[in-house]
Amino acid sequence: MVPDLAEFVPHRMIEDIDLCGDGRPVPGLVARFYRRAEGARVASLGHYTYEGRDTLLAWGYVGEPDCAYHAVGIPGRGWDTPRPGCPRTELVLGGDGRVVGVLVI
């Protein structure tokens, strides 16, 4: 089941985030990070939107190296079934090599 954002507190926001970790930001991709206490641990959730559309949720715990789960946004249908780990991502490049989007699997 996808976590309920209403149960988390906003932590920070990054516009044009580098989702693939290679130093190249994705124009129009915004990441909003949320947290909540769960006993001795802190749960973390990343909500990514691309040009205002739900694109990705990724969640786990602060201090862990990777996401525990992720779910991809499906236009007009909401969130896909959560899957373990972090999603696979690939940059979409224009003919001039500029980043024009991101593929999230």
| Amino acid 104: pLDDT | 87
Number of Cβ atoms within 10 Å of the Cβ of 50: 18
CA distance 80 to 99: 25
User: What residues does each domain of the chain span?
Assistant: 5-104
CA distance 3 to 55: 15
7 phi, psi to nearest 5 deg: -90, 0
Percent of the chain residues past pLDDT 90, beyond the cut: 83
Instruction: Please give the helix or strand (H or E) that residue 64 lies within, else none.
Output: none
CA distance 7 to 29: 23
| Amino acid 71: pLDDT | 97
